[in-house]
Amino acid sequence: MAGENPASTTEYIQHHLTNLVYGNHPDNGWSFAHGAQEAAEMGFMAIHVDSMAWSIGLGVLFCWLFRSAAKRATTGVPTGLLNFVELIIEFIDGAVKDSFHGRNKLVAPLALTIFVWIFLMNFMDLLPVDLIPELLMMVGVPYQKIVPSTDPNITLGMALGVFVLMLYYSIKIKGTGFVSELTMHPFNHWAFIPVNLFMETVGLLAKPFSLGLRLFGNMYAGEMIFILIATTFAAGAGAGLIGGGLHAQIFGEHTSAWFWLVIFILVCGVCWLNLKGKIPTGRTVLLCMVFMTIGGGLTALGGGLMQWGWAVFHILVITLQAFIFMVLTVVYLSMAHEEH
């Protein structure tokens, strides 16, 4: 967690915004970067290991989930996972059929992959900002950004993938029509060809960039707010029982993860007992509050509530952004298929 002074707060934020980078450093050769400075020095020949790992991991999760549903697909009564998967597929199928009128076997699976994959990547935003980075820090991983969609490489990478498809289908379907579309629009006269070309090229390039940057911007901003809430409310870790909770009295500035783990288990236990009907709900809430206050102090509790509030709102954002990316992809591909 963050300390008190502005410098360490800035450090905290910067730390959260630094990827785990593996790349070709001019001095050290191929190695992990120690800090943002080295990562910047690596230039293009570097890779964000955390973004790639989470992105691939979540993609594999998506494939595994949907593949196991597909294996269970029957014409009989669908149950459980299959029901859920079919719900999503039906939804995607409807959205694609609404905005894509050509015949293309690629578009619907593409839309499904985009929607579910981006949703999963965005969903990582809802995990507590410090949870996984702190845990990985304990095993010696210095930097970790667990939300791949807050990395412009990831979002632009997908947008570029879509852009390649747009170009491919434009040329395949329209042929020379695509060229005339670029040169003879909007002013249909040979003298305006340079102007047209410029305008149309900008318009064309704007599509993937807006697609990728929109997702990146939204997720980055959302992540920033989580981080800011975390810094604001955890700033007084050493400020006594109110600010830092009991653990600050016991352990001082040094946060023990085991203490947090105990608090976590206590809170989960109380909630579980409530669900089993052993403790009344009012007392459950009270006990949770007490545990949280012991764990993090009142401000931490306030921070927790705010994190929770923003997370609830953010659920809408992550779903909406995944949906927008998918719909725009479909629309762009639909435009690539249509002759003017």
Alpha helices in the chain (DSSP H): 6-16, 36-42, 49-71, 80-99, 107-123, 131-138, 152-169, 176-183, 193-234, 240-244, 246-251, 257-275, 281-337
Nearest to 112 by CA among 59, 72, 168, 56: 59
- Which one, 70 or 221, has the nearer CB to other proteins? 70
Nearest to 144 by CA among 230, 55, 223, 48: 48
Q: From the candidates 5, 210, 256, 283, which is the catalytic residue?
A: 210
72 assigned to active site: no
- What residues contact 255, with CB distance under 8 A and at least 6 apart? 1, 237, 247
Minimum distance between the CB of residue 259 and other proteins, rounded to whole angstroms?
34
Is the separation of the CB atoms in 48 and 20 below 8 Å? yes
Sheet of strand 29-32, all strands in order from the earlier edge strand to the far edge: 29-32, 21-25, 46-48
112 binds other proteins (CB under 8 A): yes
Residues 75 to 104 in contact with other proteins, rule: CB under 8 A: 75-76, 78, 85-86, 89-90, 93
Minimum distance between the CB of residue 3 and other proteins, rounded to whole angstroms?
24
142 binds other proteins (CB under 8 A): no
Minimum distance between the CB of residue 284 and other proteins, rounded to whole angstroms?
40
Burial (CB < 10 A; 0-12, 13-18, 19+), residue 215, is buried
55 assigned to active site: no
214 assigned to active site: yes
Cis bond upstream, residue 186 (ω within 30): yes
Q: What is the CA radius of gyration of the chain?
A: 25
CA distance 29 to 295: 43
- Which one, 125 or 151, has the nearer CB to other proteins? 151
Q: Which of 39, 120, 182, 227 binds other proteins (CB under 8 A)?
A: 39
- Whose tokens are 């960039």? That residue is 209
- Which one, 85 or 270, has the nearer CB to other proteins? 85
Residues 153 to 182 in contact with other proteins, rule: CB under 8 A: 153-154, 156-158, 160-161, 164
Q: From the candidates 99, 149, 218, 274, which is the catalytic residue?
A: 218
Q: From the candidates 28, 180, 214, 334, which is the catalytic residue?
A: 214
Q: Which of 35, 56, 205, 241 binds other proteins (CB under 8 A)?
A: 56
Residues 14 to 33 in contact with other proteins, rule: CB under 8 A: 17, 21, 23
* Site residues (vs other proteins, CB under 8 A): 17, 21, 23, 39-40, 42-48, 51-52, 55-56, 59, 62-63, 66-67, 69-71, 73-76, 78, 85-86, 89-90, 93, 105-106, 108-110, 112-113, 117, 151-154, 156-158, 160-161, 164
Which residues participate in catalysis according to the annotation? 210, 214, 218
